[in-house]
Amino acid sequence: MARVSAPDPFAPAKLGPITLRNRIIKAATFEGATPRRVVTDRLIDFHRRVAEGGVGMSTVAYCAVSPDGTTDGRQIVLTDDAAPGLRKLTDAIHAEGAAAGAQIGHAGPVASPAGTKHSALSPSRLRTPAFYKTRAATETDLTRVREDFAQGARVAVEAGFDALEVHLGHNYLLSSFLSPRLNKRDDRWGGSLENRARFPREVIRAVRGAAGRGVAVTAKLNMEDGVRGGLQVDESIEVAKMLQDDGALDALELTGGSSLLNPMYLFRGDVPRKEFGATMPTALRIGFRLVGRRYFREYPFSEGFFLPNARRFREALDMPLILLGGINKLETINRGLADGFEFVAMARALLREPDLIRRMRSGAASEATCIHCNKCMPTIYRGTHCALDAPTS
C-alpha cells in the first residue's frame, strides 16, 4: 500500500472526524506529574510546551478509567472530579494550535497493589515479576470495567479532548486478554483468538458509543508482546482486522513490548538499571540487582525500529495507521508516510526537545538530539524529563 510520494508531514490531515494541523503526534508517555490523580500546573505546562513546539496533537498519558486501573495510584482517574482540571489542560493545548488526545486504559496486571490499594486484575490468576499475585477477573469485574471505560470516555469528551486512545498495548488489561501467555481462561473470554479479542473489542465499542462520532477514537495495539508465549505478529494482524471490521476506530497506533514482562522491547537503547535501582526503597535494591538484568533486557537502538513489523500491518489493512518507535529523523517521518502510514508518533525525542517539530518545519533541524540513554524512564517517579537536561518545574 505504498504511496507514490510521501504527503507533506507538516500539512493538515484528517484523523477520523477531526483535522490535525500536521501528521506528527506526541505519543502518550506518563508525565509523572499527577501525584494526587488530578491535573497539575506541571502537567499543563508539559503539554503546553509540546503543543507550542508544533505537534499536530499532544496525547495525555496515562488516564485510568478507575482507581484500580492506575499503575501505582498516581495517574489521572477519569472521574467528574478530574474534569475541571482536564478542561484547563485541553484549553492550554488548544491555545497553542494543537489537538488534545487522552490515552485511556486499565493497567490490569501491570498495576501495583501497593500503590493502588486494590488487587491487580488479569484474565487469569498469575504471579508477576514483582512477586504479587493478580486476581482473575470475574464477569462482574468485566461488566464494571467496560462501563468504567464508557464513563471515562464521557468525562474526557466533556473535558474537551479531541481524540481518545484506548490502551491495547504493553500487557495492560486489554492487552493481557489478547496474550495467550497471560490469558488461560476456558470461557468465552479465553482460548481462541476470537475469544481473547472479545473483551477488548467490546470495550472499544463501548468507548465509541460513549464518545460519539465527533471525537476521534484510536487504539494503541501491540504488534507483539516481545515475550515467549505472548501475542505474536500474525495473531495481532488478525486482531487488527477484527477491529477494522468493527468500524469503531479511526486509526491504530502500532506498538509492542510488555510493561509487565519486557519493558525494554518498547524503548530500545541503553538500559538504565542503576538509575531505576536508585528510585527504589533500600530494602528492594538488593533484589532488584539480582533480577534487574533479566527483567530489563538489552535491545540495541535502531531508527524506526518498529517499521518492519508495522509494514506487515500496512499491507494487511485499509484503516489509517500511526507509526511509532524510534522516530528521530525527518527522513524517517517521510519514509513512514511514503510507506502508507497516515501519521507518526514521537515520544523521547520530544521529551528533550518539545520544539523539535517547529524547528524541523522551519529547516532548522532534521533530527533529534536524543541519544536513547533512556535515563528519562526512571524520572517518572519525580516528574518525567530528559535526565541530560535540567528538569522544568
Catalytic residues: 172
Q: All 3 cell numbers of residue 183?
A: 490469558
Q: Which residues contact 279 (CB under 8 A, 6 or more apart)?
A: 378, 381
Per the listing, cell 510493561 goes with 259
Question: How far is 383 from 40, CA to CA, in rounded Å?
Answer: 11
Return the bridge partners of 15, or none.
18
Beta carbons of 341 and 6 less than 8 angstroms apart? no
Query: Cβ–Cβ contacts within 10 Å for residue 40, how many?
Result: 17
Question: How far is 256 from 306, CA to CA, in rounded Å?
Answer: 8
* H or E stretch at 196: helix 193-211
**Measured CA angle at 246 (ends 107, 18), to 5 deg:** 80
Q: Which residues contact 286 (CB under 8 A, 6 or more apart)?
A: none
Per the listing, cell 535526565 goes with 387
Name which of 209, 219, 257 is nearest 239 in CA terms. Answer: 219
Cβ-count burial of 384 within 10 angstroms (0-12 exposed, 13-18 middle, 19+ buried)?
Answer: buried
Per the listing, cell 541503553 goes with 270
Name which of 368, 240, 223 is nearest 308 in CA terms. Answer: 223
Question: How far is 292 from 278, CA to CA, in rounded Å?
Answer: 12
Question: How far is 387 from 98, CA to CA, in rounded Å?
Answer: 26
Q: All 3 cell numbers of residue 304?
A: 524506526
Query: Cβ–Cβ contacts within 10 Å for residue 95, how many?
Result: 11
**Measured CA angle at 168 (ends 75, 309), to 5 deg:** 125
- b/e sequence 362-383, b meaning 16+ C-beta within 10 Å: eeebebbebebbbbbbbbbeeb
Query: Cβ–Cβ contacts within 10 Å for residue 59, how many?
Result: 29
